[in-house]
Amino acid sequence: MKLTRRAALASAAAVSTFSILHRANAADTLKIGVCSPLTGPAAEVGAIQLNSLKLSTAEVNAAGGILGRQVELVIEDDATTNPGIVLAFSRLAANTDIAAFIGSIRSTQVNAMAPDVEKVGKPVMFGGTDPTLTHNGYKWLFRCRPNDSFSARVIADFGVNTLQLKKWALVCSSDAFGTGGQNALIAALDKLGLKPTLVQPYANQQADFTPVVLAVKQSGAEVIASYFTFEPDLAVFARQVRQLGVRVPWIGSPSIVSPVTRNLAKNALFGTYGIADFTPDANDESKKFTAAYGKVHNNALPDSGWTYDAMKILARAFNDAKTTDPVKVREAIIAIKGMKGTEGTYNYDANGDGLRGYNIVKNVDGNIVYDRHIEFDS
């Protein structure tokens, strides 16, 4: 066959075009939108969570990325406020190249962004623990931490069955997270045949907790159970609990074991119990993650692994679905069973909940010591 000049040129053009397109496709990243508290009261823990996410993303990319594409994070500041996260999400959602999102650890913020998430119709991984977030009919929210119905059940189970305490004072933030935790605690205690002696909500970001501590003292409670949203609030409360002579066991939601809280409260938290969705030495995944995090961040300890897990879950779901089609990716997330993560073993249900248990830990002279893991079937 004789190769004409015109055919040769056409072939060369086709090869060049294919080559350019192929290279463009290879360089094309898969974008994940991230709403992160770069500023505001949650900025401290937000920075740790973002570091964890970046570490996970680097590992996913090193392992070949998602669907053969490198993962790129597109980060917007949610300012630790509800309007802030709504604005941040709307900015991200306007970028149609973004295939999925990572939201907030704060339930109140997830609640605020949820209606927009439904309109956008792409998966959003989040860390908020208000149980209602996955039970309000929202299809696109996927939780990467156990919800508060489990945290409350673990707190109640440990306090009643292990510590043998019957008179409970509940101190909870009046925001969505705290109210959700408070209601779940009341329900969990009710199942164990108990009614709390004191239910004491408080508003976030207070300079003084004297009225709360005095209410606990006067209630004659044998144990404090708490859901604090902001670490500085918890630290102020802890100091005043000790100063005003309240000497009862205290079992707190995960913020009580956060490095930020412990750094601020110091010995005021010694001897307290906490439930922790993430504990560095709880399982093999968390040990590996903690070691990798410390290597990159000067031996610092991560305070949670949910953002790290979120990226791994998304990577698995996209690769299982073999497409970026949101509906197929959603189905792939729900199909995840027995996936080992830093926060535990993920078994997603149709609501978007993957985890059902917590670790109990104790603050021993400033060190968080793993005590036990309490898991529920449903």
Partner 1 sequence: MFLQLLFTGFGIGAIYALVALGFVLLIRAASVVNFGQGEFAMLGAYALVIAVNMFHLPYWVGIVLSIVVMAGFGVAFAGATYWPLRNRGGLPVIISTIGASIFLENMVLVLYGPNSEQIDGLFDNPGFDIGPVFVDSQYLSIIVVATLLVALQYFIFERTLLGKKLQATSQDKEMASLLGIPVAMMILITFAYSSALGAVAGILVAPILFVSTGMAALIALKAFAANIIGGYGSIPGAILGGLALGVVETMGAGYISVPYKDAFAFLMLLMFLMVRPQGLFGEKISEKA
Cβ proximity to partner 1: between 245 and 338 the closer is 245
Decide if residue 202 touches partner 1 (CB under 8 A). yes
Instruction: Quote the CA–CA distance of 273 and 250 in Å, as a whole number.
Output: 6
How far apart are CB 232 and partner 1 at their closest, in Å?
5
Minimum distance, C-beta of residue 42 to partner 1, in the bound complex (Å):
8
CA distance 378 to 367: 31
Kindly indicate which of the ranges 100-108, 123-131, 136-144, 263-271 contains the residues binding partner 1, using the contact rule CB under 8 A.
263-271
Tell me the window of 5-13, 261-269, 323-331, 356-364 that interacts with partner 1 (CB under 8 A): 261-269
User: Which range binds partner 1 by CB under 8 A, 233-241, 272-280, 282-290, 333-341?
Assistant: 233-241
Instruction: Return the beta strands (E) in the chain as ranges.
Output: 30-36, 71-77, 98-102, 124-126, 141-143, 168-173, 198-202, 223-227, 250-252, 273-276, 339-341, 344-346, 357-364, 367-375
In the chain, the amino acid numbered 104 is: S
Q: Which of 95, 162, 218, 347 binds partner 1 (CB under 8 A)?
A: 218
User: Should residue 211 be labelled a site residue for partner 1 when binding is judged by CB under 8 A?
Assistant: yes
Q: Where are the beta strands (DSSP E) in 183-330?
A: 198-202, 223-227, 250-252, 273-276
Least distance from partner 1 to the Cβ atom of residue 132, Å: 19
List of residues 6+ apart from 2 with CB closer than 8 A: none
Query: Checking DSSP bridges between strand 250-252 and strand 344-346, what pairing results, if any?
Result: unpaired
Query: Of the two residues 43 and 58, which places its CB atom closer to partner 1 in the complex?
Result: 43
- Asked if 212 touches partner 1 (CB under 8 A), the answer is yes
Residue holding tokens 């239910």? Answer: 199
In the complex, what is the shortest distance from the CB of residue 183 to partner 1, in angstroms, rounded to a whole number?
15
Dihedral-angle region of residue 167 (phi above 0 means left; psi in -120 to 50 means alpha; beta otherwise): beta
Q: Judging by DSSP bridges, how do beta strands 141-143 and 124-126 pair with one another?
A: parallel
Contacts with partner 1 in 18-47 (CB under 8 A)?
A: 38-41, 43-44, 46-47
Q: Which residues bind partner 1 (CB under 8 A)?
A: 38-41, 43-44, 46-47, 174, 200-203, 205-208, 210-212, 214-215, 218, 231-232, 235-236, 239, 243-245, 260, 263-264, 266
